[in-house]
Chains A and B, each alone.
Chain A
Amino acid sequence: DAKTTQPPSMDCAEGRAANLPCNHSTISGNEYVYWYRQIHSQGPQYIIHGLKNNETNEMASLIITEDRKSSTLILPHATLRDTAVYYCIVLNSGGSNYKLTFGKGTLLTVNP
């Protein structure tokens, strides 16, 4: 699986959009970009995933660049409960490749 690079920490004001970047310059054509988050002492929570097109769900939006070498997770109106570690993961969903490889993620702190 392609390696991802994320900033170790970011701050965001409550009510503002949080934009979390991820670089995955070695991603290959059949690899998906997944985002999970982990609130302190809880299990990781799935947020969103995509292949090529931008995706949106009730939690967030995922913007993937045209060359697929980077992506941005957008939380449109961050709340204090969005404070968590956010993990960007690239996963080859073809064949039997199923292991999620987590890095250290980005600690997002939402401030009042």
Chain B
Amino acid sequence: DTGVSQDPRHKITKRGQNVTFRCDPISEHNRLYWYRQTLGQGPEFLTYFQNEAQLEKSRLLSDRFSAERPKGSFSTLEIQRTEQGDSAMYLCASSGSGRTDTQYFGPGTRLTVL
């Protein structure tokens, strides 16, 4: 399978704990995106990487959130001191860097904060 992969698929944690998610993009894609989706809503943009550079962060990405893409390949999204409001599906997508390059999504990581 050469699509976008995410790990873990499900994560249950207690409030106040830190969690980290991983995304492996399609190998030739140099753009990587994180989105968050809460129940009944469409996905919302969180942040975007071009190679290893994080070029934009949404206001939704509070100080407790940090994303990295150290070698321009896989990316991690860490949430520190989780809150119940962080419960959501966290989606990763990747694309090439052409003007109309399509974003392809992974299966998502569903986070439940108790």
A interface residues, Cβ below 8 angstroms from B: 32, 34, 36, 41-46, 49, 85, 87, 93-94, 96, 98-105
Contacts and interface: CB of A to CB of B under 8 A. Distances in A.
A59 to B, nearest CB: 13
B100 A43 contact: no
B44 A44 contact: no
Nearest to B44: A102
**Secondary structure type dominating chain B contacts:** strand
Residues of B in contact with A, size category: 20 to 34
Contact of B108 (A43, A96, A102): A43
A46 B100 CA distance: 13
B10 to A, nearest CB: 10
B2 interface: no
- Give the secondary structure class of A's interface: loop
B105 A98 contact: no
Contact of B102 (A41, A42, A49, A105): A49
B22 interface: no
